[in-house]
Amino acid sequence: MSQQLQQVHPNVLAKILKQRTVYQNEEIVVIDKPYGLPVHGGPGIKNCIADVLPILAKMLENMKAEPLHLCHRLDKETTGVMVLARSKEAAEKIRLLFKTRQVEKIYWAIVLGDPDPVEGVVEIPIVEKEVQSHQSHYKMTLAPNYRLCPEDGKVVKIRKNRNAERAVTRYRRLASASACSLLELQPITGVKHQIRVHLAYGLGCPILGDHKYSHWSKLAPQKLPELTLRRLKLEQSKARHLPLHLHAHRLCLPLGQPLDFVCKPPLFFQKTLRKLELDIPKD
């Protein structure tokens, strides 16, 4: 799917986004972001949301429409609710709401394992580090403020890493089966890859299909439990094709009156839930 989106003409991509519009008023347009589509351009990226915003605006309104504006970002592999603004002023207002943490964001993720405890808050700072391996690369990782002293088991404060950013994620288990869980997540802060890092390295429950954060030094496909592979009818050698199961499910925007947007998970996510016998809670 993501390769197809990279190969289509920008006009076709704009049309796809138009079909995925879930709400619009004079200030904003809300879309259901498809899988594998980057928000911003970069090396090797042919198509991205930012590039088609002028075309999308014309399709939604008229030929004189000014380009739509980005207000926040979602990772390339993340699906779901995304807000675009119709004017610079609206964009600035909404960006400020995100920055001052007035926007409530709820994500769904299918993860490996079962978080212990089943609900809680992960509050561990995050920092970007270079991974020293045969192919050196960069990853976000935890930069905790405390550690356990091996000698006496006491909690010791660690000297703060200057580059570490505060990161807080609330989580709650909605279902568990087949050595996996469906979690509801609410990131309170907005650090790059925060949910993925907190789940994988904080709770030891990496997101299904997160090949980047299932290990530290290796650049290798995720290793899946036997039961999960059986239920997915998948061989471990094919695990690298599994997409990231992280979905921006709901977003509440306090623009005058609170606006509440919900996007159902994409089909591949729903199919995985069925195969793993994870029951979707009724909203």
What are the catalytic residues?
Answer: 75
Distance CA 200, CA 198 (A): 6
CA end-to-end span of the chain? 28
DSSP codes joined into one string, 181-218: EEEEEEESS--TTHHHHIIIIISS-PBTT--SSS-SS-
Q: Which amino acid is at 184?
A: E
Q: Can you say whether residue 178 is alpha, beta or left, with left for phi > 0 and alpha for psi between -120 and 50 degrees?
A: left
14 DSSP 8-state letter: H
Cα–chain center distance at 236: 24
> Is 206:214 a contact under the CB 8 Å cutoff?
yes
- For residue 210, report the phi and psi dihedrals to the nearest 5 degrees: -95, 85
276 DSSP 8-state letter: T
Distance CA 150, CA 258 (A): 49
Residue with tokens 């808050």: 121
Structure tokens at 27: 């200030």
